[in-house]
Amino acid sequence: MPTKSFFHGADWNPEQWPEPVWAQDLALMREARVTAATVGVFSWSRLEPSPGVYDFGWLDRVLDGLHAHGIDAVLATPTASPPPWFTQAHPDALALRRDGVRLVHGSRDTYCVNAPAYRAASLGIASALAERYARHPAVRLWHVHNEYGTWCFCDHCARAFRGWLRERHGTLDALNDAWTTDFWSQRYADWAQVLPPRATQYLGNPAQELDYRRFLSDRMLAAYTAQRDAIKQVAPQAQVTTNFVLGGWVPVDHARWSTEVDLVAIDHYPSSLDGAPAQSAFAADAARGWSAAAGRGGRWLLMEHAPAHVTEDGVQRRKPPGMLARIALAHIARGSAGAMYFQWRASAGGAEQWHSALVGHAGPDTRTYREFRALGENLATEGRAPSYRSAYRKVPFPTDDACAAGDAEVHEAGCGDVAVWFDEVCGWGVGASHLPAPVDYQGIVEDWHRALWLRGHHVDVVPPAATLAGYRVLVVPAAYLLSDESARSLDEYVHEGGHLVVTYLSGIVDEHLRVRGGGYPGALRDLLGIRVEEFDPLPPGAVVTLDTGDVATGWTEHLTAPRAAVLARYPDGRPAVTRREYGAGVAYYVSCALDEASTARLLEGICAAAGASPIVPGLPDGVEAVHTPDGVWLFNHTDEPHEVAGRQLPPGAVARLAD
Ligand code: GAL
């Protein structure tokens, strides 16, 4: 049945409402052709009102109700928000902030992932849910926890951190070396002296900070896999995931986690209304890239996004008419198995009572609900949604073989022309380091992605583990931290014929944030045929015009180009942008932060030389083109009509080019 093919639904919190409202909700869901509802995300205090005492009656009725209405459940484990009885009994399991303040319950995510009591209690509730519901016919997907990413600096963490460090570094000498502890007299003489990076007098140790993020990521992953394995022990065929939240503040290495989930799932909340289409495309391309590199076939799911608004500088800006469906379909075109929302019904009270919902405080008679219902009708109609891979309609979850085959499909689908390198661990390294100027790693990566997106390229966002062969152009922006292995794979990529664009601040430090000497970028100097002597960041607002007319902002460098041709020079004649032929390929170096127009010009030339063509040439600004096996889909994100390849696109339209 086609209505089952896409995930079309939302987080549903029936425990916040009397049961007669559930019946209304289910009827409305059916009317809107909802295929899936996420339930139980924050229900721990209802499911286990006191230690070891479970109340599953209400969830039985919720799941039965969903099933009776032909709606699948995405069943969550509620471990992101332990109940008050838990924290009262185990004060040591409350999160300790960096500055030593012990948090108390009253919000959510107030727990220490390394506290034995927390781990035991969360495994307890997850196992109890698995026992009861693993074979429930409504359950299509398990959603462990919610947006892992909680920080803690307590003594449980300190102990576990030491154990993790011993495994990673082996000896204290190796740790001292990796963390450069001779700087500021930090040399450790005993493991007991090693602490989490708690509040200290002045700048902390960047390598310690980076290892702590890696450690938290690994520990949270272990907490996730423990729950996943408990579920699979009861139901080996169960499909299990957790919802990733993107953002540099989260100590979770999503590329690595993607190998442990059955379906990569992300939540996405853009930070500006006008920027939402480009930001959504970036997040979607990143999710697809994680999935493909993890052998999951490029398949992924948008688990949450906001129905009616985008929060911009603290202001909830309403989505204009049509945007709800357009953004959902754009995600689906980029490989999502559907588009889920947070949330179904707006809460009457509680911290997020003003968050938008599909059914708002006014009830279903609103533009948002009507648009959502129309989207449901669209998705339920075979052939009217841009399916990234038509197999989605038939096979809810690919087998391992299909995943392996799917990896190839990502390239075959025409999405393999151009890629942008994105490594969250590198972003952590940038964040931990006291750089010569503030640097927003993800912002820089998104700028390069956006430049390609605006020009109508279908871009893959790839983690370091990705297979690079097959991309005509690969952009590596601000890859400050680059392992030897990554440097080798970039070398091989160019040698084999790839066109590599490396930007300033790439290849500077190793995985312990130690500078690679001899001239920047130590890891890529030979490949690029250049040598950077010094950085020369610009003050805010300053610009430098290159001899090509291109404009540099923010960052410049002093470099020589002993083995590369110079494509653009700074006013004093020094090289700014270089090009080196290497093996069968070409390696470009961009030593400055170019403005948007200059970036676009540069990329246009590089892509043309590499034979990487836009999906649709000459795309107007704000019109998005996505290449799917169902053909090219166009999304007019503007409120103007446009003509694209002979096709009239009314304002806000979504259309297939061939139709
Ligand atoms: C998500 C979270 C949801 C809800 C939402 C609000 O990050 O998973 O529970 O808080 O944000 O935008």
The candidate with the shortest Cα–Cα distance to 17, out of 32, 49, 39, 50, is 39
Catalytic residue among 15, 19, 31, 147: 147
Burial of 260 (0-12, 13-18, 19+ CB in 10 A): middle
Write out pLDDT tens, residues 491-510.
999 999 999 999 999 999 99
Is 148's C-beta closer than 6 angstroms to any atom of ligand 1? Answer: no
Instruction: Print the SS3 string covering 262-316.
Output: CCEEEECCCCCCCCHHHHHHHHHHHHHHHHHHCCCCCCEEEEECCCCEEEECCEE
User: CB atoms < 10 A from the CB of 626, how many?
Assistant: 27
Going from the Cα of 269 to the center of ligand 1, the distance in angstroms, rounded, reads 9
pTM of full prediction above 0.85:
yes
Active site residue 640: no
Choose which residue among 304, 344, 354 to substitute to test ligand 1 binding: the one with the highest number of ligand atoms within 8 A of its C-beta.
304
Active site residue 643: no
- The radius of gyration of the chain's CA atoms, rounded to the nearest angstrom, is 25
Is 355's C-beta closer than 6 angstroms to any atom of ligand 1? Answer: yes
Instruction: Print the SS3 string covering 324-376.
Output: HHHHHHHHHHCCEEEEEECCCECCCCCCCCCCCCCEECCECCCHHHHHHHHHH
Nearest CA to ligand 1 atom 11: 342
Catalytic residue among 48, 209, 304, 446: 304
The minimum-distance atom of ligand 1 relative to the CA of 269 is 12
Q: How many CA atoms lie within 13 A of 277 on its CB side?
A: 26
Going from the Cα of 206 to the center of ligand 1, the distance in angstroms, rounded, reads 30
Going from the Cα of 302 to the center of ligand 1, the distance in angstroms, rounded, reads 13
**Which DSSP helix (H) or strand (E) runs through 9?**
strand 7-12
Choose which residue among 145, 252, 267, 358 to substitute to test ligand 1 binding: the one with the highest number of ligand atoms within 8 A of its C-beta.
267
Task: Using the CB atoms, write b or e for 206-225: b if 16+ within 10 Å.
Answer: bbbbbbbbbbbbbbbbebbb
Write out pLDDT tens, residues 107-160.
999 999 999 999 999 999 999 999 999 999 999 999 999 999 999 999 999 999
pLDDT of residue 238: 96
Nearest CA to ligand 1 atom 4: 342
Going from the Cα of 265 to the center of ligand 1, the distance in angstroms, rounded, reads 14
Nearest CA to ligand 1 atom 10: 352
Going from the Cα of 387 to the center of ligand 1, the distance in angstroms, rounded, reads 26
The minimum-distance atom of ligand 1 relative to the CA of 306 is 12
Going from the Cα of 304 to the center of ligand 1, the distance in angstroms, rounded, reads 8
Q: Are 215 and 223 in contact (CB under 8 A)?
A: no
Domains of the chain: 7-151+218-405 (3.20.20.80), 418-610 (3.40.50.880), 623-657 (no CATH)
Below-50 pLDDT ranges, the chain: 1-4, 383, 388-415
